[in-house]
């Protein structure tokens, strides 16, 4: 089992204060060189790393935020750990840095225990990452990360703010 990226394009229009998700969760492919460049994940050496993880933005869009959480259920659920967990599990995960969200005093959500190195990049930052990534000759035929940049550029052209939000799994 390897490490994968969970990537989300978020944008907002000129006068809006809310970030909106575009396209759901993206997985442009498992590539440990890219993971090293984008936020120092996986061991390629620090000379490859351009940005250290920043955590999640404080104004994270609703869809992306929900993707990072697991529902805390009062009952044992057979719907899988990706969807729900018990309060007992959430409290155990909290000991290792996961955060529990409360709604009207009741524990409702917990951040996913297997996800790490949360971060986000602006269009200009991501553009730097992509150019460095594609400076390696063997990456020329892998277009997925460049296509994400092209989508982000379309939002800039249409007078929107845009960013990618991402994290990794174990």
**Same domain flag for 49 and 123:** yes
Q: Is 22 contained in some domain?
A: no
**Same domain flag for 94 and 132:** no
Instruction: Please provide the average confidence, as pLDDT, over all residues in the chain.
Output: 90
Residue 8: CA count within 13 A, CB half-sphere: 25
DSSP 78: S
Instruction: Provide the domain limits for residue 53.
Output: 5-17+28-58+116-169
Q: Is 87 contained in some domain?
A: yes
**C-alpha span between 90 and 94 (Å, rounded):** 6
Whose tokens are 């869809």? That residue is 63
Cα radius of gyration (the chain): 17
**C-alpha span between 38 and 17 (Å, rounded):** 26
**Same domain flag for 52 and 74:** no
Q: Is 64 contained in some domain?
A: no
**Same domain flag for 95 and 137:** no
Flag residues of the chain having pLDDT under 50: none
Supply 25's token pair: 């969760």
- 38, 121 Cβ separation under 8 angstroms: yes
Domain count, the chain: 2
Instruction: Give pTM, 2 decimals.
Output: 0.88
* CA distances to 67, 75, 120 from 108, in Å: 14, 13, 25
**Same domain flag for 120 and 165:** yes
**Same domain flag for 120 and 150:** yes
Q: Is 160 contained in some domain?
A: yes
**Same domain flag for 97 and 130:** no
**Same domain flag for 158 and 120:** yes
Name the β-bridge partners of 110: 70, 100
Beta-strand relationship, 115-122 and 106-111: unpaired
36 backbone dihedrals φ, ψ, rounded to 5°: -65, -45
Q: Is 100 contained in some domain?
A: yes
């Amino acid at each position: 089992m390897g490490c994968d990226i969970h990537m989300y394009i978020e944008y907002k229009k000129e006068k809006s204060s809310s970030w909106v998700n575009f396209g759901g969760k993206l997985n442009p492919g498992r590539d440990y060189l890219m993971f090293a460049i984008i936020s120092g994940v996986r061991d390629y050496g620090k000379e490859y790393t351009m940005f250290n993880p920043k955590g999640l933005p404080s104004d994270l869009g609703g869809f992306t935020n929900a993707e990072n959480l697991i529902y805390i259920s009062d009952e044992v659920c057979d719907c899988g750990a990706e969807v729900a967990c018990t309060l007992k599990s959430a409290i155990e995960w909290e000991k290792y840095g996961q955060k529990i969200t409360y709604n009207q005093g009741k524990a409702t959500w917990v951040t996913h225990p297997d996800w790490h190195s949360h971060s986000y990049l602006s269009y200009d930052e991501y553009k730097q990452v992509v150019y460095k990534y594609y400076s390696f000759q063997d990456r020329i035929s892998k277009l997925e990360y460049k296509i994400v940049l092209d989508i982000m550029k379309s939002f800039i052209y249409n007078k929107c703010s845009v960013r990618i939000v991402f994290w990794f799994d174990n």
